Amino acid sequence: MTKKNGIQKRLSNVLMRVRSPHHPSSARSSCDEEARPPVPLSPTVLTLEDTVPEHPPHDDSDDAGATLAEVSVPFVSVTNAATSRFSFNDSKKPSLPLPTNCWWQNLVLGDGGTQVSCPPYLVRLPTDGPSRVEIGWPKIHVGEEAMWQVWIDDWQLIWNPDESAAPLKREVVDYDDLSVTVQWPSRQSSNTWARQTLVKATPYTTVEFKQMKQIQMKTRHSILQFEQHKANSWKVLLNSGQTWIVYVIDGVVRVAAVPDEINDSLALLTKHHSSYPVGGTFSWQVQSVQTSDDPAAKKSGKHHCQHDGCAVE
């Protein structure tokens, strides 16, 4: 709490960890930075019971001080048959349930193959066929009573091109308020992997590779024009009317849509293509309208509170 007479001010601050293939110490400004040495890209091919049982009254005397997730409940306990095929890395496996309505929960529900909304893109990590990332620029369908996004995979980035091979095992290796990082380790070597970090509000889709021998890009559309933009970057015009830019640098492949409605969007994308966020946290500060030691009130739901009292002040 910061005290100041006569003025009330709230400041939201987003701290991002940024990685740069070329300059590990660059792109600092207002961002917290996490540098990682560039990883080499191996020779690469870039082609385009419905009954409710009776129970005795529940005695909750032993639940004092427990969190809601630890409270014993008067129900029959069964194992969830709908287990996820998306496994967590042991060091990051949550000891409690995922946050309610976690924006990337589609990755860990069912088979984990449903698309995730990570604005401005829709992204899908399929569980069938070769290991890949599918990227879509959302199409908005407008009806008489509703609007909704239509999923179309404009691009596929594939690094296990043998369709007869089972996909590599996926792991969530890191996550925070604004991002989730997924990794596909090789079956042969722990030193060979593909990794993607989904970060909200990032204009690129980014995948890192280490010692992957073959990488492919595919599109469902027809390519009308393909030209080199600058060193290690290519501009692609599709018959869908979309223009995309592809960057390949030091084991990192970045794909971005080039919106027509934004002036100089291609120049902006190229200017910032060598640094990319790999995580972030959200924080806020509050100033009072008068000198006060009372904390600011923040509304939380019952499922966000501890059993013996709300943990959020």
Domain architecture of the chain: domains with CATH? 9-47+83-290 (2.70.98.30)
Mean pLDDT score of the chain: 75
Q: Tens digit of pLDDT for each residue in 275-308?
A: 999 988 888 887 777 777 777 777 666 555 544 4
User: CA-to-CA distance for 298 and 281, rounded, in angstroms?
Assistant: 18
* Strand arrangement, sheet containing 223-230: 87-88, 171-175, 179-185, 193-199, 205-210, 252-257, 243-249, 233-238, 223-230
Q: Tens digit of pLDDT for each residue in 222-231?
A: 999 999 999 8
CA–CA–CA angle 283, 287, 293 (5° rounding):
105
Centre a 10 Å sphere on the Cβ of residue 135 and count the other Cβ atoms it contains: 25
The terminus-to-terminus CA distance of the chain in angstroms comes to 12
> Which two structure tokens, joined as six digits, stand for 156?
């596929």
pLDDT band at 13 (very low <50, low <70, confident <90, very high): low
Residue 306: half-sphere exposure toward Cβ, Cα within 13 Å: 11
> Which two structure tokens, joined as six digits, stand for 307?
């059993």
User: Which pairing describes strands 276-287 and 171-175: parallel, antiparallel, or unpaired?
Assistant: unpaired
Q: What is the 3-state secondary structure (H, E, C) of 220-246?
A: CCCEEEEEEEECCEEEEEECCCCEEEE
- pTM for the model stands at 0.68
User: CA-to-CA distance for 194 and 130, rounded, in angstroms?
Assistant: 13
Q: What average pLDDT does the segment 104-129 reach?
A: 87
**In percent, how much of the chain has pLDDT > 70?**
63
Contact at 8 Å (CB) between 191 and 150? no
